[in-house]
Amino acid sequence: MQNDHVPVGSVGIWTFNLELVPSAQAQEHVAELEELGYPAVWIPEALGREAMSHAALLLAGSKSIVVCTGIASIWARDAMAMNAAHNTLTEAHPNRFLLGIGVSHQPMVDAVRGQRYSRPLSTMREYLDRMDSAVFMAAPPSHAPQRVLAALGPKMLALAAERSAGAHPYFVPVEHTPFAREALGQGPLLAVEQAVVLETDPHRAREIARKHTGVYTSLPNYTNNLRRFGFGDEDFNGAGSDRLIDAIVAWGGPDAVIDRVRSHLDAGADHVCVQVIGDHSTEVPVREWRELAPALTTM
């Protein structure tokens, strides 16, 4: 079995929007991302498609792009099922699938899934133990399955370095990237999500950005992490202060996006997955992906 690193490249795309169109259209969009030169696309698991079957559809509709889950929830399937899906997709699409897994958030786990969220760090460690000891008696993959953990704080980052190929921080300022790199050490993959708004008017850009940040400013996993970098209660009201918006969302023209991505890379990130936030959240941001491609795919 080969142990090659999954080739996600320096910059990819992170998107919820593929879930909002029929599967055939989602496949067409990923095929275009591939043609535009993006080496990787990240997909979530929340209230839409089941992450592993969604990844399978996108892999089947493309030829070379790496499909990454950002993230597949450990509460959505038991460890044996996660391991089986991981091996199955890696065998079917060698070196093209990166499994990102995470502990999600208490409101999603308790209220939506009807389970009980508790002890996220030890729960993740126990889940990884069960994945690693799971029996898989189908045809094995030719490349070693690779996984990363959704990680923000030092303990989860340390676990990511110990038990996975790296970490996938989400909803973080650039200041988090050197913090994460130090916690991970050199070697593990650091794949950072970066939200962007292609709008140069400050008021309008922040208005659009708040449609995104408002989803997350009530979630303790994110706000507790942001407190490490000097943000406080006043920054989490009303979907986020201007200071928080500017730290989390890169807004402006393509140059502003490029500068923010480069800041993460210079600070220690190996990969930045860009999430385009549009004025209409139900539209797939194809125009923006095309506009950004010449710069982002050559970084």
For 125, residues 6+ apart whose C-beta sits below 8 A from its C-beta are 159, 163
**Residue 5 counted as domain residue:** no
**Residue 1 counted as domain residue:** no
Question: 200 — phi, psi (to 5°)?
Answer: -90, -20
Provide the residue range defining the domain that includes 218.
11-296
**Residue 4 counted as domain residue:** no
**Residue 2 counted as domain residue:** no
* pLDDT of the residue at 68: 98
* pLDDT of the residue at 21: 96
**Residue 199 counted as domain residue:** yes
Question: 2 — phi, psi (to 5°)?
Answer: -80, 155
Tens digit of pLDDT for each residue in 62-104? Answer: 999 999 999 999 999 999 999 999 999 999 999 999 999 999 8
**Residue 63 counted as domain residue:** yes
CATH of the domain at 117: 3.20.20.30
Q: In whole angstroms, what is the distance from residue 256 CA to residue 201 CA?
A: 13
Domain count across the chain: 1
Do residues 268 and 190 touch, judged by C-beta distance below 8 A?
A: yes
**Residue 174 counted as domain residue:** yes
| 3-class DSSP assignment, residue 210 | helix
* pLDDT of the residue at 92: 98
* pLDDT of the residue at 106: 78
Q: Which residues of the chain have pLDDT under 70?
A: 1-4
